[in-house]
């Protein structure tokens, strides 16, 4: 069992049987979505949805809520569906063959089917949430969904750009990752009996999401590949300008603006690491974890719930350790 799995185990045990049951219901819900859209989608969506992953966003929904309201399950399914929709489209754009060790929809069914599958997963995310009857919830999801698309646009617009600032990088992390973490927490609060804390818990989720993305970008440079499942410097290969590269260029302006082979990416990753900036990037990320945990202290929530949320924030760091 690796560290990340151990950490998820700790979260699950802190969340207790209630969390486990909500996650099971979410799986059933996702399976039903995959079954209910005809033969064409069935095959594509089933593979995507069954491939699993950590279900981190649903976990956030459930830890920010309480009780076992069907609407919590709907929200958990919705945020996971939206996340998957973006993954399916990302795989199309990156012409990615594998994700989590399985062939992507793009690889098995081609570009058109994968684009339509992503569109359908988008639609189902909103359909799940619409069924709750909550305008505020649908608005939270659509705000996040817009942000994800804007983040993706920004990432592609900034590709290979040597002038991306740390501020702009942070804004991109907020759009492409933190926005859905924020929405997940907000939805949990809304449907879990604490609508008064929707803003505060959303803020917690945003900070966790920022740290998650920033540490992910550090991992991309530091690897090791057997842990991350991708070659070191994958971001460099597709032109994504991340904080480690931005900071490293200040120290070593001769760092290449682009690389084209896995070996060049590994070599550039070594040079970035040699500048010592990974520590700085990690420190900046940890500051967001700390802010997330501090914000918890101000919340009127049970000790158990605060403990579980705190474990999630720590889990983001553990991924890196």
Which tokens go with 251?
A: 């120290």
48 near a second copy, rule: CB under 8 A: no
What is the spatial distance between Cα 68 and Cα 61, in angstroms, rounded to a whole number? 12
Tracing tokens 């605060």 back to the chain, one arrives at: 306
Counting Cβ atoms within 10 Å, is residue 239 exposed (0-12), middle (13-18) or buried (19+)?
A: middle
- Contact segment (CB under 8 A) with a second copy among 83-91, 224-232, 256-264, 296-304 equals 83-91
What are the CA-CA distances from residue 271 to residues 18, 231, 249, 254 (Å)?
47, 15, 10, 10
- 123 scored as a contact of a second copy (CB under 8 A): yes
Counting contacts by CB under 8 A, is residue 167 touching a second copy? no
Asked whether the bond before 270 is cis by omega within 30 degrees of 0, the reply is no
Asked if 29 touches a second copy (CB under 8 A), the answer is: no
Q: How far is the CB of 228 from a second copy (least distance, A)?
A: 22
**Which part of the chain contacts a second copy (CB under 8 A), choosing from 62-70, 106-114, 186-194, 270-278?**
106-114
- Shortest Cβ distance from residue 127 to a second copy (Å)? 4
Taking every pair of Cα atoms in the chain, the longest distance, rounded to a whole number of angstroms, is 56
Query: Taking the complex as a whole, how short is the minimal distance between the CB of residue 22 and a second copy, in angstroms?
Result: 22
Name residue, tokens 């709750």: 132
- Under rule CB under 8 A, residue 108 binds a second copy: no
Please identify, among the stretches 6-14, 111-119, 250-258, 259-267, the one whose residues bind a second copy according to the rule CB under 8 A.
Answer: 111-119
Between 31 and 93, name the residue whose CB sits nearer to a second copy.
93
Q: Which residues contact 305 (CB under 8 A, 6 or more apart)?
A: 63, 66
Please report where in the chains the tokens 């002038």 appear, as a residue: 163
Distance of CA 219 to the CA centre of its chain: 14
Q: Figure out which of the listed residues 156, 162, 165, 196 binds a second copy, where binding follows CB under 8 A.
A: 156
Evaluate whether 280 touches 247 at the Cβ level (below 8 Å).
yes
Q: Which is nearer to a second copy, 117 or 213 (CB)?
A: 117
Q: Which residues lie across from 99 on neighbouring strands?
A: 102
CB of 130 to a second copy, least distance (A): 4
- Strand ranges for 166-248 from DSSP E: none
Residue 34 contacts residue 46 (beta carbons within 8 Å): yes
Q: Is 37 in the site for a second copy (CB under 8 A)?
A: yes
Residue 104 phi, psi (nearest 5):
-70, 165
Provide the Cα torsion 135, 140, 144, 146; round to 10°: 40
Geometric angle at alpha carbon 236, from 233 and 239, rounded to 5°: 155
Considering only residues 31, 154, 287, 290, which one is a binding residue for a second copy as defined by CB under 8 A? Answer: 154
Q: Is 170 in the site for a second copy (CB under 8 A)?
A: no
Q: Which is nearer to a second copy, 65 or 118 (CB)?
A: 118
Q: Does 21 bind a second copy (CB under 8 A)?
A: no
Q: Using CB under 8 A, count the residues that bind a second copy.
A: 47
The single residue among 18, 153, 196, 256 that binds a second copy, judged by CB under 8 A, is 153
Among 57-65, 114-122, 263-271, 286-294, which window interacts with a second copy (CB under 8 A)? 114-122
Does residue 32 belong to the site contacting a second copy (CB under 8 A)? no
The residue among 141 and 198 lying less far from a second copy, judged by its C-beta, is: 141
Output the smallest distance, CB 132 to a second copy, in A.
8
Cα(185)–Cα(206) distance, rounded to whole angstroms? 9
Residues interacting with a second copy, by CB under 8 A? 37-38, 40-41, 44, 85-86, 89, 92-93, 110-113, 115-120, 122-124, 126-127, 129-135, 138-139, 141-143, 145-146, 148-150, 152-154, 156-157
């Amino acid at each position: 069992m690796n560290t990340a799995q151990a950490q998820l185990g700790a979260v699950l045990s802190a969340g207790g049987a209630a969390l486990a049951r909500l996650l099971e219901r979410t799986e059933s819900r996702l399976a039903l979505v995959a079954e209910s859209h005809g033969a064409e989608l069935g095959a594509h969506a089933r593979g995507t949805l069954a491939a699993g992953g950590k279900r981190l966003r649903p976990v956030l929904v459930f830890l920010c809520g309480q009780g076992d309201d069907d609407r919590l399950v709907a929200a958990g399914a919705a945020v996971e569906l939206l996340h998957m929709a973006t993954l399916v489209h990302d795989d199309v754009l990156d012409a990615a063959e594998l994700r989590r060790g399985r062939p992507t929809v793009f690889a098995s069914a081609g570009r058109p089917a994968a684009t339509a599958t992503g569109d359908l997963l988008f639609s189902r995310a909103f359909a799940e949430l619409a069924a709750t009857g909550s305008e505020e919830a649908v608005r939270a999801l659509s705000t996040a969904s817009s942000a994800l698309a804007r983040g993706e646009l920004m990432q592609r617009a900034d590709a290979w750009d040597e002038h991306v600032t740390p501020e702009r990088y942070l804004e991109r992390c907020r759009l492409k990752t933190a926005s859905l973490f924020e929405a997940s927490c907000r939805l949990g609060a809304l449907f879990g009996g604490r609508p008064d804390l929707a803003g505060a818990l959303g803020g917690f989720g945003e900070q966790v999401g920022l740290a998650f993305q920033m540490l992910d970008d550090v991992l991309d440079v530091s690897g090791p590949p057997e842990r991350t499942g991708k070659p070191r410097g994958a971001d460099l290969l597709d032109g994504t300008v991340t904080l480690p590269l931005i900071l490293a260029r200040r120290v070593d302006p001769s760092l290449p603006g682009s690389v084209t082979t896995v070996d060049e990416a590994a070599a550039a990753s070594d040079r970035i690491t040699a500048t010592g900036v990974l520590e700085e990037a990690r420190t900046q990320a940890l500051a967001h974890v700390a802010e997330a945990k501090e914000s918890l202290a101000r919340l009127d929530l049970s000790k158990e719930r605060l403990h579980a949320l705190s474990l999630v924030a720590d889990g983001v760091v553990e991924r890196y350790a």
